[in-house]
Amino acid sequence: MKIKKLYFALVFIFISFLNLHSKPYVIIVSFDGFRWDYLNRNITPNLNEILNDGVHALSLRPSFPSKTFPNHISILTGMYPDNHGIISNNIKNIFNGKRYRIGNNKSVTEPEWYQGEFFWETAERNGIKTASYFWPGSEISDTLRSPNKVKPYEHNFPFINRIDTVVSWLKLPIQERPQFITLYFHETDSKGHDFGTESDEINEAIALVDSLAGYLFKQIQELPIKDSVNILFVSDHGMQNIDKNKIVNVEELISQYKYDLVDSGPLMQIFPNSENDKENIYAELKRNEKHFKAYLKNELPDYYHFGKHPLIAPIVLIADYEAYLVNNRISKRNYDLSAATHGYAKDHINMHGIFIANGPAFNKGMKTGTIWNIDIYPLLCELFKITPRSNIDGKIDRIRFILNNE
């Protein structure tokens, strides 16, 4: 009898051991604003080596608006911003007066803004440990909805130290070790905005994040679990130089009416004070549609997948490619704008980011066409063999072909 018990105990331990060791690890790294074609500048030896050994998509198509928070959250929820709720980097809730702003540390932690389920939530419900060294939305204050380990955003925290911490997490005892980790670097976005897409400064930023990719990859190759680690390198959007001849101060066109403006740049939302103001403002903007298009919320073309969410303004302006919409405040600053920006429609190729996948789950040496960022969430579910939420916009059937079926 004792021998039988011992036998079962040993079998149980052996199976548990096998299970723990066959589990995959996935690290998703975002280089903010890393445009799809930055990889063709001959300054990214590390990323080029990693993509040659894995899957490289021509580009990663963002969701509209091609802004930072909406797209990082589309990547990890599989939903368009219209459905996950982070419809822009700045949101006004007309029902209670509250604002969501990316620079406002408190508002980004409030769970009420986030209507999608992040992959880390799906993973944790399935017993998978998760961790984040930054990702928009990761600081959500509801611990049931946040990664198991999370770092409060610190813009200037040294890049190398972020990587060292992630690698140290992968060395934790197996019971504590996260299997899904996010990592974020802003450098290519900042330098793209400040100096434009053809500057020495952006090229230095591209080379810098490439060296970080190389450093991370090398650290992982030295881990005992290296054969179970998959790495994705993605970006939330691309970057486009602004044409300074296509700047429109929208407030000059509608100064006789009463309204509230949210956002500037490629997308502007207008909350008129009354139904009468709404009709007049819309008519005025339609008469002056130069370098932008004006839409009533319910008339936005399906193409944008943008217009159903209750917090989208009654009037939405979308700038033409390279154009830029400003308010009086920016106008008074003499249009002192960034050199480049993003937020334009999702099919402008310069709005596209990168998608590179490397590891045992992926094909090797595979080049694909453009991949949609909403399909990454179902891809992550497939990697961990867990069921995605049924209300997502992403589709595993559009992306499954990059997986190694062996």
β-pairing, 130-133 vs 180-185, is parallel
Least distance (Å) between residue 404 CB and Zn ion = 30
Active site residues: 68
Nearest by Cα to 351 from 269, 236, 264: 236
Site for Zn ion contains 350 (CB under 5 A): no
Site for Zn ion contains 341 (CB under 5 A): no
Least distance (Å) between residue 18 CB and Zn ion = 41
Residue whose CB is less far from Zn ion, 139 or 236: 236
CB 347, CB 61: distance < 8 Å: yes
Look up residue 190 and give its amino acid.
Answer: S
Q: According to CB under 5 A, which one of 63, 66, 68, 230 is a site residue for Zn ion?
A: 68
Site for Zn ion contains 236 (CB under 5 A): yes
Binding segment toward Zn ion, per CB under 5 A, in 29-37, 104-112, 143-151, 389-397: 29-37
- Locate 137 and state its tokens: 């939305």
Least distance (Å) between residue 157 CB and Zn ion = 17
- Locate 203 and state its tokens: 């090229």
Number of residues that bind Zn ion (CB under 5 A): 5
Least distance (Å) between residue 314 CB and Zn ion = 27
Q: What is the DSSP string of 289-306?
A: -SSEEEEEGGGS-GGG--
Residue whose CB is less far from Zn ion, 189 or 263: 189
Least distance (Å) between residue 313 CB and Zn ion = 22
CB 86, CB 75: distance < 8 Å: no
Least distance (Å) between residue 351 CB and Zn ion = 11
Q: Is 143 exposed, middle or buried (0-12, 13-18, 19+ CB in 10 A)?
A: exposed
Whole-angstrom distance, CA of residue 281 vs CA of residue 272: 8
Site for Zn ion in 175-214 (CB under 5 A): 189
Residue whose CB is less far from Zn ion, 193 or 305: 193
Binding segment toward Zn ion, per CB under 5 A, in 10-18, 68-76, 82-90, 248-256: 68-76
Residue whose CB is less far from Zn ion, 122 or 235: 235
CA 75 to centroid of chain Cα atoms: 5
Instruction: Give me the residue whose beta carbon is nearest to Zn ion.
Output: 68
Nearest by Cα to 343 from 309, 317, 369, 312: 317
β-pairing, 267-272 vs 315-319, is antiparallel
Residue whose CB is less far from Zn ion, 74 or 230: 74
CB 354, CB 59: distance < 8 Å: yes
- Residue with token string 């105990």: 9
Q: According to CB under 5 A, which one of 32, 117, 124, 320 is a site residue for Zn ion?
A: 32
- Locate 135 and state its tokens: 């990702």
Nearest by Cα to 138 from 165, 109, 116: 109
Residue whose CB is less far from Zn ion, 189 or 393: 189
| CA dihedral sign, ordered 250, 251, 253, 254 | positive
> Which residues form the interface with Zn ion (CB under 5 A)?
32-33, 68, 189, 236
